[in-house]
Amino acid sequence: MPKRVRDSNMELLRLVAMLLVLVVHANFRALPVPGFSHVHNNPSSALLMFMTEAFSIYAVNLFVLLSGWYGIRFKARRLAELLFQVLFFGLFAIGVCAIWAPDELQHDVLSRLLMLGQGDYWFVKAYVALYLLSPVLNAFVETASRKQFATVLVAFFAFQLLYGWAFESTRWLVAGYSLPSFMGLYLLARFMRLHPMRWWQLNRWVDLGIYLAIVVLLTVAMFVIKQHAGRGGMLYFYICPLVILGAMHLLLFFSKFSFRSHIVNWLAISAFGAYLTQSSSFIGGRFYDQIILNWFNNVPRFEFIIYTSLLVLAVFFGSILIDKVRLALWHALCRLGRLQT
């Protein structure tokens, strides 16, 4: 059987989603969210930060939607490779700390390496749980009628909208940082792929226009809310209806053109390494968040944008190259295992 060639248009979306992860973390993870005084004293700066968040907050949803678009086919070896990748980047982060920040290794090293802390690679843990449950979800997808499938989706997202987003009364949904939210997104993407609807079949430029309109709407809404000292953070939850809708139409936009590129596919297969680098509990805060915060407080805004953009690109491409080492090591271990058996 010839090896399946990945769709480069969707692999390009994977790269875009990873860049958006780095951008969103460079914004409201590394920097304080503009409050009432910031909005009134420096409105252009606050507006730019709100727009950056509104432009990039779809990243996590995009990764899960991509998994649902193609469907997860559970394989123990694929799960082992994912966990090996996490371990590899964890050891890499420890090595970086041993050289440049040894004080980071004075406590909880093994716990952080094994992701036992609440904040240690939350996405990895939620995604691994989704992966483990994927056979159950796939069985539902394969046996449910279109009407049953649609009913389940409407019921789930109505529940999530009411109890997870509007009133934040269901702690285990946690603004979308959770397995139930991932399951809903996975099923949504499977439904979009398997059951064509007029809504999914708009011109791709209409899809892009809807995404951009949502970016503008979220930006303006957040700015106005903060002008009046409101909270507004719920607009940037992963379970915010507009955030889900924006991710859906960005996915649809990329799905409606096709091309093949060895370079794009080669980069995309290692893109997850960028998340593992800059979200590491060992080096993410020390070598990403703190550097960006220091630039934000001490250099002119234009220079801050240039420096931060270069850092994002350096982490992105540097992590991909590091992951190529991980891939070579993984393939060597697999060959060794076959030889021994």
Q: What is the mean pLDDT of residues 295-319?
A: 96
Q: What integer pLDDT is reported at residue 118 of this predicted model?
A: 83
Residues 6+ apart with CB under 8 A from 145: none
The total number of residues written for the chain in this structure? 341
**Cα separations in angstroms, 201 against 100, 149, 193:** 52, 19, 11
Mean pLDDT, the chain, whole residue set: 94
pLDDT at position 231 over 90:
no
Going by pLDDT thresholds of 50, 70 and 90, the confidence category of residue 262 is very high
Dihedral sign (CA 36, 38, 43, 48):
negative
pLDDT at position 4 over 80:
no
Domain boundaries, the chain: 8-340
Q: What integer pLDDT is reported at residue 6 of this predicted model?
A: 83
Q: What integer pLDDT is reported at residue 82 of this predicted model?
A: 96
Q: What is the mean pLDDT of residues 21-42?
A: 94
pLDDT at position 1 over 60:
no
DSSP 8-state assignment for residue 279: T
Going by pLDDT thresholds of 50, 70 and 90, the confidence category of residue 325 is very high
Instruction: Decide: residue 165, CB within 10 A, 0-12 exposed, 13-18 middle, 19+ buried.
Output: buried
Q: What is the mean pLDDT of residues 148-152?
A: 97
Going by pLDDT thresholds of 50, 70 and 90, the confidence category of residue 270 is very high
Q: What integer pLDDT is reported at residue 61 of this predicted model?
A: 97
- pTM to 2 decimals? 0.95
Going by pLDDT thresholds of 50, 70 and 90, the confidence category of residue 27 is very high
Of all residues in the chain, the percent with pLDDT exceeding 70 is 98
Q: What is the mean pLDDT of residues 228-246?
A: 93
pLDDT in tens, 78-134: 999 999 999 999 999 999 999 999 998 988 899 999 999 888 999 999 999 999 999
Q: What integer pLDDT is reported at residue 339 of this predicted model?
A: 67
Calpha distance 13→336 (Å, rounded)? 34
Backbone angles phi, psi at 108, to 5 degrees: 55, 35
pLDDT in tens, 163-218: 999 998 888 888 999 999 999 999 999 999 999 889 899 999 999 999 999 999 99
Backbone angles phi, psi at 161, to 5 degrees: -60, -45
Percent helix, strand and coil across the chain, each rounded to 5?
A: 80, 0, 20
Q: What integer pLDDT is reported at residue 2 of this predicted model?
A: 46
pLDDT at position 314 over 60:
yes
What's the token pair of residue 8? 């480069």
Q: What integer pLDDT is reported at residue 338 of this predicted model?
A: 75
Question: Could you write out the DSSP letters of every residue in 16-44?
Answer: HHHHHHHHHIIIIITSPPP-HHHHHH-HH
